[in-house]
Each structure stands twice: as structure tokens, then as C-alpha cells.
Structure 1
Amino acid sequence: MLYLLNLLAAIALLVWGTHLVRTGILKVFGAGLRRLIQASTGTRASAALAGLGVTALVQSSGATSLIASSFVSQGLMSLSTALAVLRGADVGTGLVTLLFSFNLAWLSPLLLLAGVVLHLSQEGSTAGRLGGVLIGLGIITLALRLIGLATEPLLAAPQMKMLLGGVRNDAPLELLVGAVLALMSYSSLAAVLLTAALAGTGIVSLEVAFGLVLGANVGSGLSSLLTTMHAPIEGRRVQLGNFLFKLAGGLLAAPFVHGLAQSLGPLRPGAASWVVLFHLSFNLACALLFLPATGAMARLVGRWGETPPVSPNALALHATGPRHLDPEVLDTPQLAMSCAAREALHQADLVETMLRGLLPVMRDNDLALSAELRRLDDQVDTLYSAIKYYLTKIQRSSLSEREGRRWADILAFTINMEQIGDAAERVLQDLEDKKIRPGRNFSEAGIAELAELHGQLLSNHRLAMSVFLSGNEQEARDLLAQKRRFRDRVQACAANHFDRLHGNTPESIQTSSLHLDLLTELRRINSQLCSIAYPTLEAAAARDAVQQAQPAVLSAAPRPIPFRSD
């Protein structure tokens, strides 16, 4: 029992080491890896190479699959391209497994020592995070050595021989056991390395080990599919297609692995080495076989979760809950920030629907539409709370200065949208209480002025969303200029209203208080929209200040004394 506990502890240490390496690499190079994947997806071959390279760096095909799923969910990558990326990711896992199959026991103390020194002395910096990666690599190499030591006593245990003896020459059972092993260890890398260690010490035959490797590949695909069950449907389609590819590969290879293992008997340099080479060869063969079929698989899984098309207005009015806050990418702050920004835009879309509906309610006394729009404010508030909570779970210590400013910008944007939604709800409530139910109407001139301001407000809302998304300095200046123009127009409309009061216009007299309140609320909403320009302009001002300070520093530096020869 103690030997089994030691083995499980060594496996847990291996899984933890791969987790440290994956999260550390993504924290340091996350944005760069995202750009690499996005820029290298022109063809299926280049997409596969991008997946191979990223997986070899982060040592986890699961992390690569999360990045690809996130891109598909955000519309930055097609489904077929993401499946091509994952075919290369499987080959990358095979290469990483081959690397760690060598005897690296001598490297473990060096990696741990260097990693701890870097991490503690440079905590919070890029060097400190790289130190965490070195610690993870040291733990992996140490865990592999511990797995070898723990499996040796198990070889002599009759219970273990009896248990694994039942697996012999039973392909379906081998696939099932390998899949369960990958699910338990949450890593095909750990499962394959453990299988290689068991084969190397003779606990399992080479035939059984090959079957376990096939099962481990299928189990890794199932693990990713289960992990993303609560992700957007677009991301789940990526994992479903990936799982179907892995399952098809395992089923196609299963009838031949026992014959292959027997034919390698006379050439066997070591069972553990053959296991690792078989894992790499199998993934390479699957990549070459299935890469041309990624388009067909994308069309197949693309039908999963399809819903009948609905009109944009109906979609906005009946949208419920956050769509893009993927909890699975919180370990990768750059991806999590993208999810939060996209959800903030979803919140802004709902606010735009509320603002767009104000004019029909004013003009047509549409009480039913007003009630629908006011209920929409509850969804805006729900998204605000969800985005705010999601942002608090992102590790700000792992963000760069620029990313930290973006974090604050997203929070400020979603706060503004929530407040604009509240203001729109107040406008709707006032219209119901002071105009619709009493049966009053605005004068023709008054409703025309409100319609003009409403059109400017919608235009500024779209410009504000563009500034938030792109950070364009010129657009930010244009948005801030709209604040002054809108204010001047509101003042002119108020003056015109007082002229109509002096002219004893009946409709203006009846709705005077409501009319002035609407002008005030519309101006307040516009001011909140225009405030979205401030972070972009402040960042530009800070950048300009730094550029202007650099020449001053250079000019203030002491100049060398010229050499004189008398």
C-alpha cells in the first residue's frame, strides 16, 4: 500500500510540475503565443506547425487547445483551422514526452536551485516568473525519477501482476484503462510517461503499453471536452472535433498495435523507449492522416448546438447571462482579459438596445416596449456583476503595466455601461409615469429635437465602443469633442422649449417638467459615453511625456571634454 501511495504521489508531483511550467510560460509569453498562433494559420500545415511549436514550449496540448478554443469563440479563428492547430499540438506533446523520457535526473537539482533563487530574488518580475518555470521543470524531472523508484517494488507484488494480467490482449480494456489513467492524471504526458515506466520495469508488456498509450490519447481529448463543458458553444465544438479525431485514431490503430509490438521484439532496445517512440509516431501519423479532413470535421461538429436564426432585436431583448467569461482561461490572464473585454462589448450591445428603444417609446407611447427595455436593465446589471467578479479573479501581479491599464479600462467601461443602463431605465420610468399613462404628448418641435439628440447619442455610443475596442487616439479626441457639441445642442433645445412655453404651446406646457428632465438625462448619458475617451487620451499623454523627457535627459548628460593638443 505504501508503494502505491508513493507512486500516486509521484504522479501528482509530475502533474503539478507540468501545471507550473504551463502557467508560467503562458504568464510570461501568453500574448506572444496568441499572436504566433493567430499569425501562423494561413494554411493547415502552418497552423499545425504553430500548434506544435506552442505545445513544445508550454508542454501541454491542453493549454494550446484552450487558446485555440478561445480564438474560435471570439471569431478570430475558424473551426477547421483550430482543429489543424490541435493536430500539430498532439505531435508537440509527443516530442515533449520523448524529451522527458531521457535520464534527466542530474538536471533536476540544477533546475530547482536556479528556479528558487530566481523566483525569490526577482518575485513579481519576468525573471521571477521564469524562475517558476524552472521550478516546474525541476519538479517534472524529479517526479519521473520518483516514478521509476516507486514502480520497482510493485514489480514483485503478486496483486499488481494479477491486476494488470487481466488487461493483457484485450484491446477495448486497454483503451479504457489508458483513458481513465489520462483522466485521473489530467495529462496525456503524465499518463504516457507512467506507461513507459511500467513497461520499462516489466510490470506491463509492450503490447499492453501500446494499447494504454492509445487510450491515454483518447482520454486526453475527453478530458479537454469535459473541461470546456461550460464554455461557449463555439469553443466546445473545437474540443468535440479534437476528441472525435483522437477516438478515430485510437480505433483505427487498436487492431494493429499488438502485432506491431511483437514484431519489435527482436529489435527492442528498451520497452520504455519503444513506448515513447510509438506515442510520437502515432500522433505524427494521425496528424498526417487527419489534417486534410479538418474541414469535413468542422462541418460535422459545426452542426452541434445550432439554433434557428433570430432577429438582432429579439436576441438582445432575450439575452440572458454572460456568454464569453470562460473560467478555464483564468490561468492565462491575457486570454481572460480578452474574454472580459468581449463580455463588456456584449453588455454595451444590450445598453445600445435600451438606448435605441427610447425614441419609439417617446414617440409612440409603447408601454409594452418600455417594460421589455426596463427588464433588459436587469441583464445589464447581471453582466456588470459577472464581469467585475471575473476581473477580480485575474491575477493582476502577472499583468504587465500596459495590461494592468487595460484591466482598469475594462472595469471603468463596464461601470459606465451599468450606469447608462440605469439612466435609460429612469428615462423609461418617467415616460411611463408622466407621459404614457396620463395620455400626454410632446409638441412636434419638441419630439423632433429629442429625436435629433437621440440620433447623436446613438452615434456617440458606437464611437465610444470603437474607442474602447481599438484605443485609437484620434477617435478618442473626436468622442471628447462630441461631448461639447452635445452639451451646446442640449442648451439650445432647452432655450427653444422655453420659447414654446412663452408662446403658450399646450403640449409643451403639459410635458415641460418631463422634457427638461429628459434633456438632463440625455446629457448625462452622453457625458458617461464620452468619458470612455479619457483612458486612451491619458495613455497617449503619458507616452508623449516620456518621449519628450528622453531628449531632455540626453541633453542634460555630461559631455566629454574635447582633447586639445598644444
Structure 2
Amino acid sequence: MTPEVAQAMTPAIHWWAMAMSLFGGLALFLYGMDQMAEALKAVAGERMKDILAKLTANRFMGAITGAFVTAVINSSSVTTVLVVGFISAGLMTLSQSVGVIMGANIGSTVTAQLIAFQITEAALLMIGIGFMMQFISAQEAIRQYGGILMGLGLVFFGMSIMSDAMGPLRTYEPFLDFVRRLENPAIGILVAAVFTGVIQSSAATMGIAIVMASQGLINLPTGIALALGANIGTCVTALLAAIGKPRDALRAALVHVIFNVCGVLIWVGFIGQLSAFTQLISPSHSGLSGTARLAAEVPRQIANAHTLFNVANTLLFIGLTTQFARLVQWLVPDKPPSAEPLAVRAKYLDDELISTPSLALDRVRLEVLHMGECVDKMMARIMPAILSGNRRTLREIELMDNDVDTLHAQIITYLGKISRLSLTEKQTGTLMRLMAAVNDLENIGDVVETNLIVLGRERIDAGVSISAPTRQILMGFHRIVTRSVAAAVQAVAQNNEMAARTVTSMKQEIQHIADSAAIHQAQRLVAEEPNRIPAYTIEIDIIEKLKRIYYFAKRMAKTVETDEDENVS
């Protein structure tokens, strides 16, 4: 048969219709992945955060935990962001985080395993049931589970559309020639890495590879090369997420890059051996032959190979977590201290987590702790400055409130972004209470800046000298109020009911000290002392402003008690 006759017998390919089907199917696939991930994070996000924080005592548990958390929330990037937050908060060392990041690579292969089931016949049924669960049920949990089911159905439906669109390519020689070139590992890895980097989804690359395998268009070695390339391409997402972030975020992203690239370099020379071992442990269809057998066996084999080499890489490198940590610390050293004071900025607020409200709200709690540290510095310096400081000292404390105001604005902006999402009733309540607590903390800073600073300047202008007994009483009162503010910040940051109750239980002690101080001032008023009237006025005002600060601290603490009560009920 001449080439002209063979070409005449090949069915005509409708390129426009094929392109629409391919892009439409890919869009449905990606949308389904996003829908499923959002619902999974809403259902399990907060619990996964707690698991990740508690079960990373050693490198092996860290890897297992990272794999489990990533598999459940379906996002290795979210796992990495959580890890960076724990490092910044001092809850996890960089060495511990390396194990978690390695495990996250294993967890990310669960998506390919799900895709390889190819339950395309049930896709529309899953979409329909998921839709009904989302829009009919009044229970938030059922709606979220409906979102998971609907997202999974869209993934399989999108794959079905792409698979049908690729059918005519089985006999199209130019495309088959292109696929044959992918059998060269270097080309296959490069193509998959570039494609994954562009669309920032290794799951999409694996999905397309499995769809091509289901049509008998690629064999297992080609599929493995594409999976290796996807592992490199997904590093682009990690690097982009680290842009403009603290050094710990860049180090975590670099661990991800080095681990993935080294793993690919190791396996690129053993694709044949990995292929043979994968075929040995994967289901076979000996009753089929040719393209039909490839279509039946290779999709599952690609998914299994993807999991195998990620598990093998983790086992291979898990003993080197300390070395990985030292390497990235050497590559990304701490910045030398600047002679100029750096402008304060939020340490924990990460836009990557806004799509997972429970995790984003948890970051707001950590940022409250950061803001509380700034207020605590003001509180520590203000009383000595009022009693015996000069104008320069008072000015320095006044300027410290700029940091408090900056963090307040950043936190409120971040909460505003969260509020625009679809929140559960519990999340909405938490958001409102956090907003109230942040406003109260900012009010404490304003009392120091606006009121107490003014009293210090009045003392200087009037030439008043505070007596030693009065100074002792005011310093004692200031210490307990400062302690109440620190406890209130801890209560909000850690959602700590015990710390909150400590603050509210201080009310009687605060009132008793305030009354004793007032009696002392009244006794001094009748004594023959110079400047006793201006001194009395300033000292009484100091007591009132400290009581005002405690009022805001108590309001902060009460938001936590309300939150805890609702959790119990």
C-alpha cells in the first residue's frame, strides 16, 4: 500500500473540534481538581494543621505526616506554607521541615492514583449527587462532602472528554512521531517539566499522561519520563510562592527543588528497571494484546511508578535531613543586620492560605502574637519614661506605635480578604472575634501613644518629681496591667481558654490596687509637698489610663472565652 493510499484511508481529523474538546476537558479537569481541593481543605484543613504541628517530632514521623496531610488536603504547596509558618513561629526546626516536605511529595501522588481508576462511566452520576448534596442540604459538612464528590466527578468527566478527543490521534502519524520522541527520557522530562511549570499543576500533567496511556498512545517508560518531568516542573510553583517571603519560605522552597531535582537525576538512568518492577507489581491483562493491552494496563502502571519513585526518594534521602537543612542555610544565609531599622511587616499572613479559611484564621492568631510583641515593648518602656524619662525617650515610644498601626492595618486587610470567601458560621464568628481582638490591641497601643505619653510630657512641663513611695505603687500597678495584656495576647494567639480566664480573674486585683493607689494619692494631697496638685492630677490620670488598658485586655480575653464556649457546645 502506497503512502498516498494509506493517507486517503486515514479518517479526517477535525482539528477545531478536537482542540475545543481537549481544552474544554482540561478546563473541567482543572476546575474539578480545584473544587475538590477547596472542599477537602474546608473539611479537614484545621485538623490537618493540628496533626502537622504535633506529629513531626522526628524525620520519619515528619515524612509520614507530610504525606498524610498532603493526601488529605490535596495540596503540597499548602503543606509547605504551613511548614514555613511553623518554622517562623519556632514550632518546628528546619531539619524537621525537610522530612515533612519529602513526605508531601508522596502525598501528592495520591491524585494520580485516583485518576488512574478512570471511573468515567460514573462521572456524571458523581457530579449530579455532589450537586444535590451542595445545594439541597442545610448542613455545612454535607455540602462540603458534596463539593468533594462533585469535584472528583468533574475530574473524571474532563478526562473522558480529553480521552475521546484524542481517539483520532491513534492513527495520525505526525502525532505518533512526536510521541515516539517522548520515549527519549530527556525530551519527555523536558516537555513535562515545561508544561507543568506553565500550568502550575503536576496533577494536570499526570492526568494528561494517563489519558494518553488510556488511548494506547504512550508506553510505561514514556509515562515515567513525563512523571519525572512533572516532579521538576512542580518546583516552579514552590519558587513562585517563595517570592517576597521570609528567608524560611525560600529555604523550604529550595529544599523542595533540590529534593525533586536530585531524585529525578537518580532515576533518569533507571527508567527501564523502574518500569520492569512497576509492571511486576501492577495488575496485568494477559487476555489483551497490542494497543488494547497498553490502554488497559499503562494508566495504573504510570500512577504506581509515580508513587514508587517518590517513596524510594524519600527513603533514600530521609537520613540526610540535617544535611539538607545545612545546605539551604548555606545557600540562603540570614541577611546581615541593617544599620537602618527595618519597617515592620506581617510575619505570618500568607495569601497562599486565604483559600483555606481555617488555616488563614490560624495565621491571624500568630500575627496577633507578633503585634502583641510590639505593644509589649511599648508597655515595658512607658512607665519608667513617664516617671523619670525625658522628651526624647517619650518620642521614641510614641514612634513605636507606628509599628502597631502598620500590623493592625495588615491584619484587618487580610481578614477582609478572608471575609469575601464562603465561610461557615463558625469561621465567620471566629473572624469577627479576631477582628475585635486586633482592634482592642491597637487601642492599647493608642492609649500608650496618645494618653500616657501626654502625661509624661505634662510631668516634664510642670517640673513634677514623683516620690519614691508613689513610684513604687505605680510601677506595681503597671506590672500587673502589663501582665494582663501579655496574657490576653497569648489567649488570642493560642486560643488558650486558661490564659483568657487568668486575665478576667485579675479584675478584682486590678480594682483593689487602683483603690489603694487612689487612697495613697488622697493622703499625699493633704501633705505639705511642692507641686502636690499637678502631681496628684498626673498620678490619678496614670491610674485611670492603666485601668483603661486593662479594660481592652479583658475584652480581648473574653473573645477567646466565647470562642471556646462555642467549641464545647
TM-score scaled to structure 2, two decimals? 0.84
The partner residue of 1:246 within 246, 260, 272 is 260
Tell whether 2:46 aligns with 1:31.
yes
SS state of the match for residue 503, structure 1?
Answer: coil
Residue 5 (structure 2) aligns with: none
CA distance in 2, matches of 1:360, 1:324: 32
User: What is the CA deviation profile of residues 479-529 of structure 1, one whole-angstrom value per residue up to 9, with x for unaligned ones?
Assistant: 234223323333332333343333231143444433332222122112221
Tell whether 2:312 aligns with 1:288.
no
User: What is the CA deviation profile of residues 341-378 of structure 1, one whole-angstrom value per residue up to 9, with x for unaligned ones?
Assistant: 01011111111111111123123323333222211212
Residue 414 (structure 2) aligns with: 390
Matches within 5 A, 1:69-148: 69-123=84-138, 125-148=140-163
Do the aligned partners of residues 241 and 322 (structure 1) sit closer, same or farther apart at CA in structure 2, a change above 3 Å counting? same
Percent of aligned pairs with the same amino acid: 26
CA distance in 1, matches of 2:307, 2:564: 50
Do 2:163 and 2:211's aligned partners in 1 also have CA atoms closer than 8 Å?
yes
5+ unaligned residues in a row in structure 1: which ranges?
Answer: 547-566
CA distance in 1, matches of 2:179, 2:44: 42
The AA in structure 2 aligned to 1:169 is N
CA distance in 2, matches of 1:48, 1:78: 14
Do the aligned partners of residues 507 and 350 (structure 1) sit closer, same or farther apart at CA in structure 2, a change above 3 Å counting? same
Residue 187 (structure 1) aligns with: 201
The AA in structure 2 aligned to 1:347 is M
Do 2:387 and 2:456's aligned partners in 1 also have CA atoms closer than 8 Å?
no
User: What is the CA deviation profile of residues 138-158 of structure 1, one whole-angstrom value per residue up to 9, with x for unaligned ones?
Assistant: 001111111212223455667
The AA in structure 2 aligned to 1:77 is M
Do the aligned partners of residues 373 and 298 (structure 1) sit closer, same or farther apart at CA in structure 2, a change above 3 Å counting? same
CA distance in 2, matches of 1:234, 1:397: 31
Tell whether 2:521 aligns with 1:497.
yes
Matches within 5 A, 1:286-325: 286-303=313-330, 304-307=332-335, 320-325=344-349
Pairs aligned (count): 539
Residue 326 (structure 1) aligns with: 350
* Cα drift, residue 54 of structure 1: 3.1
Do 2:71 and 2:110's aligned partners in 1 also have CA atoms closer than 8 Å?
yes
CA distance in 2, matches of 1:455, 1:29: 42
Tell whether 2:537 aligns with 1:523.
no
Tell whether 2:389 aligns with 1:362.
no
Residue 562 (structure 1) aligns with: none
Do 2:228 and 2:264's aligned partners in 1 also have CA atoms closer than 8 Å?
yes
CA distance in 2, matches of 1:262, 1:466: 56
SS state of the match for residue 531, structure 1?
Answer: helix
* Cα drift, residue 111 of structure 1: 0.7
The AA in structure 1 aligned to 2:525 is L
Residue 276 (structure 1) aligns with: 303
* Cα drift, residue 540 of structure 1: 7.1
User: What is the CA deviation profile of residues 219-243 of structure 1, one whole-angstrom value per residue up to 9, with x for unaligned ones?
Assistant: 1122123124344433442222112
Do 1:27 and 1:333's aligned partners in 2 also have CA atoms closer than 8 Å?
yes
* Cα drift, residue 16 of structure 1: 1.4
Residue 456 (structure 1) aligns with: 480
5+ unaligned residues in a row in structure 2: which ranges?
Answer: 1-14, 285-289
CA distance in 2, matches of 1:8, 1:117: 27
Do 1:115 and 1:133's aligned partners in 2 also have CA atoms closer than 8 Å?
yes
User: What is the CA deviation profile of residues 95-154 of structure 1, one whole-angstrom value per residue up to 9, with x for unaligned ones?
Assistant: 431331233111202211110111111156110111011100000111111121222345
The AA in structure 2 aligned to 1:291 is I
The AA in structure 2 aligned to 1:35 is D
Do the aligned partners of residues 495 and 42 (structure 1) sit closer, same or farther apart at CA in structure 2, a change above 3 Å counting? closer
Do 1:15 and 1:186's aligned partners in 2 also have CA atoms closer than 8 Å?
no
Do the aligned partners of residues 346 and 205 (structure 1) sit closer, same or farther apart at CA in structure 2, a change above 3 Å counting? same
CA distance in 1, matches of 2:57, 2:181: 48
CA distance in 1, matches of 2:359, 2:373: 21
Residue 441 (structure 1) aligns with: 465
Do the aligned partners of residues 537 and 33 (structure 1) sit closer, same or farther apart at CA in structure 2, a change above 3 Å counting? closer
Residue 7 (structure 2) aligns with: none
CA distance in 1, matches of 2:508, 2:216: 80
Do the aligned partners of residues 170 and 485 (structure 1) sit closer, same or farther apart at CA in structure 2, a change above 3 Å counting? closer
* Cα drift, residue 205 of structure 1: 6.5
Bigger Cα displacement from structure 2, 347-356 vs 403-412 = 403-412
Do the aligned partners of residues 496 and 397 (structure 1) sit closer, same or farther apart at CA in structure 2, a change above 3 Å counting? same
User: What is the CA deviation profile of residues 158-217 of structure 1, one whole-angstrom value per residue up to 9, with x for unaligned ones?
Assistant: 76567667766371x543321221123322121122123335546667655433321110
* Cα drift, residue 41 of structure 1: 2.8
* Cα drift, residue 62 of structure 1: 3.3
Tell whether 2:32 aligns with 1:4.
no
* Cα drift, residue 19 of structure 1: 1.2
Do the aligned partners of residues 54 and 253 (structure 1) sit closer, same or farther apart at CA in structure 2, a change above 3 Å counting? same
Bigger Cα displacement from structure 2, 452-461 vs 317-326 = 317-326
CA distance in 1, matches of 2:475, 2:301: 75
CA distance in 1, matches of 2:203, 2:317: 21
Do the aligned partners of residues 541 and 176 (structure 1) sit closer, same or farther apart at CA in structure 2, a change above 3 Å counting? closer
